[in-house]
Chain A
Amino acid sequence: MTLQPNDRVADTPESGIRKFFELAEERDDVISLGVGEPDFSAPWAARTAAIHSLEAGKTSYTANRGKLELRQEIANHVEQWELDYDPDSEILVTTGASEAVDLALRTFVDPGDTVAVHQPTYISYKPGVRFAGGEPLPVPTGADNDFVLTPEALREAGAADADALILCYPNNPTGAVMNAEEVAAVAEFCVDNDIDVIADEIYAALTYDGDHTSIATMPNMRERTVVINGFSKAYAMTGLRLGYAMGPPDAVEAMNRVHQYTMLSAPTTAQYAAIEALRSCEESVDEMATAFNRRRRFVLSRFEEMGLDCFTAKGAFYAFPACGGDDEAFAENLLEEQGVAVVPGSVFGPGGTGHLRISYATGMRDLKEAMNRIDAFVADR
């Protein structure tokens, strides 16, 4: 047989999200609460900067690590989370935060290494670990603890023996955040058990109640943490594919080795947009975050009114109500009967079973109508 996928690829199933995408695409009256990206466009000033760079013929590669100007802006930007990284040696600009996650896994995971992945979480981590030759170790989190990762959960899952942990808060799909105390507890566990951390903080700027705490700010964590962030969510730049990884110089140098041979450099046009985004678009970002926060309160209050149990999601643009029982059937019937698309929680790992991921990255008018339809659907059952 020709072009036979290797075992790692062959053993990785297609994402469960795909099925709902196809079902939703079959109809044209669907309101989708299944979208994992903002409904806003990138700030106009950032788009203009991209256009100007194209007009000026800036279409060549950049430095492997990304334009220094951009790395400097990133260094300034992350100071708000008490992160201090040197633009020259500790920041790597990547093609989306996705590339940064993949780079970190391919750089730090040896064949057979165990990588703890809390559940439910973003769908790419487990396949990413496998593609890198590692073994993902699921660590459950649950609604009883607001989907926060704890040392107890890590210990119980056997993560004390893990080589690395992927930590994603604010979390997709739950919208959960971790406060400083909770992050400190996980940090202590990682230091005690010599575990490296890949911290995907792509939703950090979308933290609504209190401030985001990066695990890299905890004692003895900087040297064992790669912090990943990007422009997709807070700057509504998903299609521009731009992210970054930050860590100690040796770690970034090592990731850059993989990056330079596989990606060369992140998209140049997007880098120009990002420089402008960091320089002048804070107001647009705040406006988007304010809109998300209003919708968050709106959906949480609607779920409460319709009697769907939903913990108070405090970050990203997701709510994660419990629908009881078979979430996949719930989502399929909801789409069939009411034309509302949501993603069943089980897609994001076993801990998500019995829940739905509700993305509120949708205008208020549609959101209201969708909530009314869900209300009618729940009342009918």
Chain B
Amino acid sequence: MDEKQELLSLLSTDAREDVDDIARQLGTDAETVESLLDELESDGTVHGYQAVIDWDNTDTEHVAAFVELNVELDRETGYKEIADRIAKFPEVESLRLVSGDYDFAIEVTGDSMQDVSQFISEQIAPIPEITQTVTHFIMETYKEAGIDFGDRDDDDRLSVSP
């Protein structure tokens, strides 16, 4: 693995590390990490750094839904054009073109189920190329971004062993 790949692999496990600690773990110096980060951010490889939150553990109202979208393309409009329009809504958390029975898989969030339904029916469904939407409200999240919400840090090893 080259330095850039190692940095990406480390960030994908924990992006909260400060630059000095990243440098120590990669066996390089802070300046190198800074410049690699600049490069990765400006060339569109790294788009951001976010916490993985279990919203059910907070007092915040947070409702999310996966929505399947079917679309009809024509001469002027391809997937890219449709995706660009959908992606602009802040309610849309993720947007992917997928293989299988439908075309786009999107994740939508809001403060309530009504909020989310309303957004789908008023903003997404009316887009002319969209022929069908199927909304799946998320009932419970068990794992996200590779992190199992059920895993707790209980270390039952002996504190000192040979």
Does any Cβ of A come within 8 Å of B21's Cβ?
yes
Residues of chain B from 120 to 162 with CB closer than 8 A to chain A in the complex: 153, 155, 157-162
Q: Is the CB of A35 within 8 A of B24?
A: no
Q: Is B159's CB under 8 angstroms from A297's CB?
A: no
Q: How far is the CB of A89 from chain B (nearest CB, A)?
A: 32
Q: A297-B25, A363-B153, A368-B21 in contact; A290/B9 too (CB < 8 A)?
A: yes
B162 with A123: CB separation less than 8 A: yes
CB distance from A201 to the nearest CB of B (A): 17
| Bound-state Cα–Cα, A77 to B160, Å | 31
Within 8 Å of chain B (Cβ to Cβ): is A12? no
Q: Does A341 contact B (CB under 8 A)?
A: yes
- Taking the complex as formed, is B14 at the interface, i.e. its CB lies under 8 A from any CB of chain A? yes
Q: How far is the CA of A315 from the CA of B155 in the complex (A)?
A: 23
CB of B160 within 8 A of CB of A17, answer yes
Check B26 against A35 for contact (C-beta < 8 Å).
no
Chain B, 1-38, contact with A by CB distance < 8 Å: what is the 0/1 string?
00000000110011001000101111100000000000
B155 with A34: CB separation less than 8 A: no
Chain A, residues 191-219, CB within 8 Å of chain B (1/0): the string is 00000000000000000000000000000
Contact in complex: B155, A39 (CB < 8 Å): yes
Question: With contacts A39-B155, A363-B153, A364-B17 known, is A24 near B24, CB below 8 A?
Answer: no
On chain B, the residues within 8 Å of A295 by CB distance are: 25
Which residue of B is nearest A305, CB measured?
B24
Q: Using Cβ atoms and an 8 Å threshold, which residues of chain B touch A34?
A: 159-161
Contacts of B10 in A (CB 8 A): 294
* A-chain residues with CB within 8 Å of residue B25 when the two chains form the complex: 294-295, 297-298, 364
Cβ–Cβ contact B162 & A297, under 8 A: no
Return the CB mask of A284-327 against B: 1 if under 8 Å, else 0.
00000011001101100110000000000000000000000000
Residues 1-38 of A contacting B (Cβ, < 8 Å): 15, 17, 20-21, 24-25, 30, 32, 34-37
Whole-angstrom distance between the Cβ of B62 and the nearest chain A Cβ? 26
| Inter-chain contact B155/A21, CB cutoff 8 Å | no
Task: List the interface of chain B (C-beta within 8 A of A).
Answer: 9-10, 13-14, 17, 21, 23-27, 153, 155, 157-162
Interface set of A (CB-CB < 8 Å, partner B): 15, 17, 20-21, 24-25, 30, 32, 34-37, 39, 122-124, 172, 290-291, 294-295, 297-298, 301-302, 341, 343, 363-364, 368
Given contacts A21-B159, A290-B9, A301-B24, 18 further A-B contacts (CB under 8 A): A21-B160, A24-B160, A25-B159, A30-B159, A32-B159, A34-B160, A34-B161, A35-B157, A35-B159, A36-B162, A39-B155, A122-B162, A294-B26, A297-B24, A297-B25, A298-B25, A301-B23, A341-B159
